[in-house]
Structure 1
Amino acid sequence: MSRPHIIGVAGGSGSGKTYFAKELQKMLGSENCSILYQDNYYIDQSARFDGDGGSVNFDHPQALDFTLLARGLQTLKMGQPLQVPIYDFVTHSRKTETLLENPKKVIIVDGILILHSKEVRAELDEAVFFDTPEDLRFQRRLHRDVHERGRTPEGVKKQFELQVRPMHDEFVEPSKRHAQTIVTDSGDYHAVLSQFTHRLQNTLPVR
């Protein structure tokens, strides 16, 4: 198999980037396309976590091990399988077990800060940034964190105001200058999905 084509998919929390990544994978086929999530690469915070909006800022680049993520992409580029770490958002620690990720023709890297990291950017072939209104991003994050991560609405709001918004303005928003494609439509990604799918199917080729 030829070297994987690596696509970075970035944007603010709740911007629609993960939906896009999953839909693109579905259209290309899971046998051709895999997704690596930034969220798997959080540094163990179990000793410091003191509540939402507390001393641990999950939206700051220092909360993530981008070096490990970049090395993982290099491993996949060499055609070797990768042991992907699993971060537990309930205990705020890294699990002992890992996920086995085999090289695919297309690898999508999904995360709010991946374009801020010079190490990760160096491994990408192209990048997409989802520029989505803040009110919509907050509603999506509220739903996710309450239903999937066991957090309270009050804690999610506090975290958004104290950490998510300022980190977005300082780190995430400026990183869109590194993207070749910027999606500003807050709802309909079908046209962009079709363009990416058609191009990748014809150039890789992916069937």
Structure 2
Amino acid sequence: MSLRPADERRTPFVIGVAGGASSGKKTVCQMIMDRLLEQDSSIGVKVVLIKMEDFYRELDGEEAKAAAAGLYNFDHPNAVDFPLLEQCLEDILHGRPTNIPQYDFHLNRRLPTTTRIVAPDVVIVSGIFMLYKRRVRDALKLRVFVDVDSDVRLARQVVRDTEVRYQMQLEAVLTAYLKYVKPSFEDFILPSKKFADVIIPRGQENTVAIDLLTQHIVDILDECKSESKEVASMTAKAQDLSLSGTVEARTATLLASLNKSNDKFGDLPQ
């Protein structure tokens, strides 16, 4: 079943950004986020960025030993705690606060601290498997795929893993790429490209595509904001009529407000 609530009028705008390892997904997300915040005075948005990497699952003893030796495949879907990711997306879509885990790449384990998210307007989630699983895809209002040449991705991964994240030896990085990263891209990530609404060739270098995508998001947010104002105005008028005894006004919004459930979007489909 879908993670989405039945009533989506006030649901946060969730964007999923997928692509191969080291394709620049987080940079693209940050560029979109910065451009949205630049227009904050006009659309008043609260933007949150989430990394799928923080949803790596807890490793057991043998897996932890393999990870420490560089022999654990973090580029396989089994490495991701999808149930936790889905739960967090469900909370966000239903207007509930949620706690996002934090992952330590040096210790290969989840940290005890979390990041709490409360009532965002826009949520951007980046990760290689954002378009891989149907339930996750269904939670997204916009699906983006960052399409970067494999040679560029490999060059970036060498720099990242030898200098930024792991301080690995070059030979180890190349071995991991051939054994894990490349097969995972071909088997799981590239096939998910067909589910994308928007494909950004060349990634962060394609500022024209990123600007157009950001403007599209702004237009949608403006439209949603106008609809919300219209619904609020209609509800207020209906309530005034009801109080005056003229009519018994029960719009969909008013009925929702009369619902005793703590979840303003109703029961979540199981």
Q: TM-score, normalised by structure 1?
A: 0.91
Is 1:135 the counterpart of 2:151? The answer is yes
In 2: Cα distance, 1:103 partner to 1:151 partner: 38
SS at the partner of 2:205?
coil
Is 1:180 the counterpart of 2:197? The answer is yes
Query: One-letter code of the match for 1:168?
Result: F
Larger Rg: 2
Match of 1:41 in 2: 55
Contact kept, 8 Å, 1:35 with 1:107, in 2: the verdict is: yes
Query: One-letter code of the match for 2:214?
Result: T
1:28-72, Cα deviation, whole Å (9 max, x unpaired): 1285211111100001236322422x1x11000000011211110
Contact kept, 8 Å, 2:68 with 2:108, in 1: the verdict is: no
**What are the equivalent positions in structure 2 for 1:111-150 lying under 5 Å apart?**
111-150=127-166
SS at the partner of 2:128?
coil
Is 1:3 the counterpart of 2:5? The answer is no
The structure whose RCO (Cα within 8 Å, separation 6+) is larger is 1
In 1: Cα distance, 2:203 partner to 2:115 partner: 32
In 2: Cα distance, 1:119 partner to 1:68 partner: 12
Higher helix share: 2
In 2: Cα distance, 1:186 partner to 1:148 partner: 20
In 2: Cα distance, 1:188 partner to 1:97 partner: 34
Q: CA RMSD in A?
A: 2.0
Q: Which stretch has the larger CA shift, 126-135 or 164-173?
A: 126-135
**What are the equivalent positions in structure 2 for 1:99-118 lying under 5 Å apart?**
99-118=115-134
Is 1:51 the counterpart of 2:69? The answer is yes
Is 1:84 the counterpart of 2:92? The answer is no
Percent same amino acid among aligned pairs?
30
Q: How many residues align?
A: 205
**Deviation at 1:185?**
3.0
Contact kept, 8 Å, 1:7 with 1:126, in 2: the verdict is: yes
1:142-175, Cα deviation, whole Å (9 max, x unpaired): 2222233223122221111110000100000000
Query: One-letter code of the match for 1:69?
Result: L
Q: TM-score, normalised by structure 2?
A: 0.71
Is 1:194 the counterpart of 2:208? The answer is no
Query: One-letter code of the match for 1:21?
Result: C
Is 1:19 the counterpart of 2:36? The answer is no
Q: Structure 1: 5+ residue runs without aligned partners?
A: none
Q: Which stretch has the larger CA shift, 8-17 or 145-154?
A: 145-154
In 2: Cα distance, 1:4 partner to 1:187 partner: 25
